[in-house]
Amino acid sequence: MKITPGSRLLFIGDSVTDCGRLRPVGRGSLQALGSGYVAEAAALLEPFYEKRPVQIVNMGTDGDAVTDLARRWEADVFGVEPQWLSVMIGINDAWRQVGRAAVAASVTLDVFWDTYSQLLARTRPSLKGLVLMTPYYVQTDRADPMRMMMEEYAKVVKDLAQRHDAVLVDTQAAMDRVLARLDYKAVAPDRIHPTKLGHQVLAHAFTRAVGITPRRRR
């Protein structure tokens, strides 16, 4: 297990992380963590930390791009003082670049890399551990424009994970494994916002990456 018992673990990101978490700070109970992968991950971690539970906090915010994270980083990351930090961002940054979704306020790859890198450089020295989760698109066609764009943003996250000594969670690979046997609607009907099953996929990918293999139920 990579995460030390008793550590404070903060999740931050966009709507996929948010999932109705408690305001202003999502902590204190599974319900406070929202209905998504953060709560699912907390439930998976709980049996492994019975004596000294991991303190999990959810600070996801619907609609965020990496520039939005930067604006609230001081309060929502440094203000919480985590020992471990998990970040999943890039979905909104990517989809705003494609087709009719493209908007003037979109975050280009260069801005994404620069902003994300600066946040991590400021924060990594104060952390025991860092987890970076790639953005994903629930689409098996690798020639799809949105899938291709999301892959470009995911490459940035993979590069940053290596540069900042972070645990990498390849969420696209996790989704692809499920899509090999299930229709995308079972995972994310709009190809982005997960169903309960989709959130479980993300939660299992996270726990495996941090060295936890949940016990199979009998």
Residues catalogued as catalytic? 15, 190, 193
Amino acid at 170: D
Q: Are 94 and 156 in contact (CB under 8 A)?
A: no
What H or E segment, with its residue span, contains residue 158? Answer: helix 145-163
Report which of 53, 13, 50, 51 is spatially closest to residue 34, judged by C-alpha positions.
Answer: 13
- C-alpha–C-alpha distance, residues 45 and 48, integer Å: 6
Angle formed at CA 76 by CA 85 and CA 210, multiple of 5 degrees: 10
Return the structure tokens found at 35.
């209905």
Beta bridge partners of 71: none
Distance (Å, rounded) from C-alpha 182 to C-alpha 170? 19
> Cα separation of 128 and 140, whole Å?
36
Element spanning 84, H or E: strand 84-88
Residue with tokens 């994310």: 188
Six token digits for residue 127: 């952390």
**Measured at the alpha carbon of residue 131, what is the angle toward residues 65 and 59, in degrees to the nearest 5?**
50
